[in-house]
Every structure is written in C-alpha cells, then in structure tokens.
A and B are shown apart, each in its own frame.
Chain A
Amino acid sequence: MAEEPADDARRAALRDRGRRWATTAGSILLALLVGAVLMIVSDPDVISQYAYLFTAPQLALGASWTKVAGAYSALLAGAVGSPAALAATAWQAAPLIAAGLGVGIAFRAGLFNIGAQGQAIWGSIAAAYVGFAWSLPPVVHLLVAVVAGVLFGAVWGGIVGLIKAKTGAHEVIVTIMMNFIAASSLAWLLLTPAFLRPGRIDPLAPPIQPSAAFPVIYGQLHVGFLVALVAAAIVWWLMERSTIGFAIRAVGSNASAAATAGMNVAGTTMVTMAISGALAGLAGVMYALGPGANAVATPLSLGLVGSVGFDALTVALLGRSRPVGTVLAGLLFGGLHSGGLAMQSLAQTPLTLSTVLQALIVLFVAAPAIVSALIPKVRAPRRPALVGGEA
C-alpha cells in the first residue's frame, strides 16, 4: 500500500520549523537590544551625556552608538572576524557542544542533567591527572587521558542514574548536590600531594605533558573540536537509529508505557545518565587537554571548566536537544564567549555581557510568545516546549 504523507501535516511541520528559526533569530536580536540598553545605562560616561538629551540629543545618541557599535563589532570580530577568531570560537564551542549533547540526551530521556558541571569537573580531573602524572607514548597518552575523563564523567553521571532508578529521587536535586560535591572534591584533591606541584602549596596542578594534549590544527583549533563533531554524529545515530535511542526516547516520553512494553526503565535511566555524564566528562577533557591561546593547555585548577555545565544546559535548550541544533547552538555560544573576550580587551566592555546575552537568548527562545509580541512579523511555533522526550 502506497504511503501518502499528510500534506497538511507536512506543511504545518515546515511552517513550524520556519517559525522556530524566526523565533531564534528574533530572540538573538532582542537579546542584543537588551544588552545594548544595559551597556548604555551602566556606562557613566555615556549616561552623563543624557543630561543634554533635549538640548543636544546628538551627544547622547552618538555616545550610545559609539559604545554599542564598538562593543558589538569587537564581539563580532572576535567571534568570526578572522581565521584566528574562528579558531578561538571553535575552541570555546568544543566543550559546549560535548556537554550540550550530554544534557540533550538526558532531556530526551525526560531527565534534567543539571549535573553536567560536576561531571565535567571529574572529567577534567581524570584527564589532567593522566596527562601530568603518567608517562605514555604520544597517541596512547592522549587516548588514555580522554578515556579516563570520559569514564569519570560517566561514573559521576551514572551514580545519579543509579540513585534515580533505585530510589526515585529527583535527579535535579541530586545533580545540583553532586556538583557541589565534585567542586569540593576538586578543591580537596588540589591540596593533596598527588596534585600539588613539587615545592608549591597553591591549588594549581602541574601542567599536562605535551603527549597528552589535543594536537593543534590551526591557531586555537584543535582535534578536540573534531571529536565533538564526531560525538554529535554518534549521538545522532544512537538516538535515531539504534535500539538504545528508541528505549531512551520511549522512557523519556512515557516511562510507564515503556515499562509495560518490557523496557528496563531503571536500566535505561542509568545508561542515559552515564552517556550524558560521559559527554559532559568529554567537555571537561577538552578544558584539561585543549591547548589554549599560547598553545599550552591550562593546568587543572578550581575554575578550569568555568560554568560549562550550566552553559551546556542553554546550548541543549537552544539546540532543542538535537545533535545538529546542539552543534549550531554550541558554535553560537562559543562565538559569544570568544567574541566576549575580544570585546573585553578591545572595547573595554566586560566579558560577563556574553553571559547576559546567552541567558536572554534562551529565555526568549523559551517564551516565543514574548518574541512574537515584540516583533510582530515573527509568529510563535505551535509547540514551543523546549524540554521533554519528543518535544
């Protein structure tokens, strides 16, 4: 019997897709606008010009324009303005993509992995330790370090899955607490002899050996970025074409029906959280083994992974938990970060503006009704829900 796909349904789906893109673009625009206002009102030099708004409006508007245009053009240049900038963006994007994929997989199983932060911390600890403490042949060293980081992330995530599966504890609370435990563990480890630099007592681990670092491709672009892309491809296959993905999606959408159909919900939960943790651990590995601007990887320290776990959540949300979307969202936010650094040094506008923009973009995307109210041409998609198995 010939399949006749419902034309209406297909058209509606296409229209929805268009609206989602429009909403995302609108959200970015609105976030930039809010960011501009924030820049203006918080800059005393600019705001002082507003005293003359009615007598000499060109002063106020000119100063505002200079400020905003300067900052945003530095942001743009720092993100995509040159091959070096693109490489820096890729450096920032790699861990965001990896962790974003992890958070996204959990979302599709109906789980909130707020614990990517802790999993990334453990990933960075393990990878860095193997990187500086062990001596292995070049390629092997890198592989072992990566596997160690991924494994530790998987274990830290898997523990959450285990607790959730065995006791029904809500993973949000457990992962938040696990983040703190991971951070405290790192703080403690950095003061133990195994992690101290000889003769030093400050919490900064020795640098990793060059044999354990990701090879550099160009500028800050290193092999880790390719690893992130490969991870995205694997995640796509896993979710769309494999029995594991089928089970993860089924459990995420309706755990009770999945159980009734003979699927092992507890096992799927554990596997999902372990995979999710592994990907977050991979993000930690990127920070530990990825050569930075000076072609050397940053040694393990308290803030090495930054806020990658929480950034990953925004990446997964913006990417709608789909691998391609996650890669694009990771690149966008990676660009915001690398551009933010340029903005800070070139336009004297603090890097933290990137965080504000990132949060605002996700807020607007999550509430498309606001975007369509403010930008009349943009219509909200039918199903704006960002989270949940098949949303």
Chain B
Amino acid sequence: MTPVLELDGVAMAYGAVEALRGVSLTVAQGEVVGLCGDNGAGKSTLIKLIAGAEQPTGGSIRLFGAIADFASPRDALSKGVATIYQDLALAPRLPIYQNVFMGAELTRRLAGVPFLDKAAMRRAAKEYLARLSIDMPSVDAPVSRLSGGQRQAVAIARALRWSARVIVMDEPTAALGVKETRRVLDLIGQLHRAGVTVILVSHNMEDVVAVATRVVVLRSGRKVADLSAQGLTAAALGRLIVGADLV
C-alpha cells in the first residue's frame, strides 16, 4: 500500500520542554490508526503538527511522498488533511449545512457578484450526511440541537466536503454516551470502508480496539509501540500505555 503520511524523526520542543523526541510513523492508505498514550505523552502535539496548527522543531512530515510543510490549518486542509477537534469544530448556533461548508462555501454569480449558493449547499450537505447514513433533522437546524454523535457526523461531513484524504479525529467519543459512541464508531467504520485514512486519538481503549486497524502508543514523547490492532484487547492496550508490559 502507498504510504499516505510519513513522519520521520519528528520532534517538537516548547522552550526546554520536549513534547516529542523523534517520532517516526508511516500511515498507509485506508488505515485507521489509533493513537494512544497518557496525558502528556505527546498525542496532542503530534495532532497539532499533522493538522498544521504548529510546525515541528525537528524531523519531517511527508504527505503522499512529498515534503509537507503545513503553514496553517488552512494549508493542511487544502492539501487533504482534515482535523476534527473535540470541542472546537462547530458553530453551534449556525445551521448544519453552514457548518458543513464552513470556510469552503459554494457561491454562484449574480451580475458578476458571488453570492452564497444556499440551495446547492443544502443539497450537498444532505448528500454528505446521507453518505454517513446518519439520521439528521433538517440541514437548516442549528447544530446546538444535535446530539454529540450527530455533531461528529457534521464535522466529518465537513471533512468530506474538503475531500480530505486523511481525517484526524481528536477524542471523538469523549463525553458521549454508549449509544452515541457506537454511532461515532460506526461513522469511522464507514470512512474506513470508503477508503479514507483515519487517525484516531482516544483515551478510550475499548473504542480504539473496536475500530482501529493499527495502534500506535506514545509515552513521554516517544513512540513505544506500533502494532496491528488485530486481536488486541483493551486490557492489553492499557498495559502498553502505562508501560507495564512492553512488547
């Protein structure tokens, strides 16, 4: 399989604090990589680098074989990497379809002036959501009326709108109930079947082993495990994270 994303010796230091001490990682097309680790292991930092929110102090990131120096989240997005943050993804009081198209709205020209093409956006938003086969009220409803799982779907629909090849999800199931968590995991499964590469950051080991094809464990800024999720149990993963049982 072609490597979609390659990290080579990526390091990140905030002054004297080394958050990442040379992490190398290869993600292949269509993989669902679970990124695990305790608080302070370096997960969030790694996510920020992949999302373009920060630039590494060492090492390199390649996207589809080419060096990717993401200048900003916008840059990363336009190159095909969409990151879905836990709380910051949506504008709750705005309608669903505007959230799906946030920052990449469709327009049509009237007398040479570009106006929002709301009809087209509503239609397309419905299609994206239908592709995720998730129930949704009218796309004109504000996001604030949606459940946590539905909100994740809206955020994923936005990533689809950007034709993202890689979707990074930061704690998508945090603060969700059992049923809602199930829905989000189903969504990730759908993305996987559609051939989208997913990097899933989660505290919840049950969730990770349920959907990931591969698991990467970080500890103190280093990669300490990188293995197939096949047959991996949540308990075993837990031991890997705390370092009780190194493979």
Indicate, yes or no, whether A interacts with B.
Answer: no
Seen from chain B, the residues whose Cβ lies within 8 Å of a Cβ on chain A are none
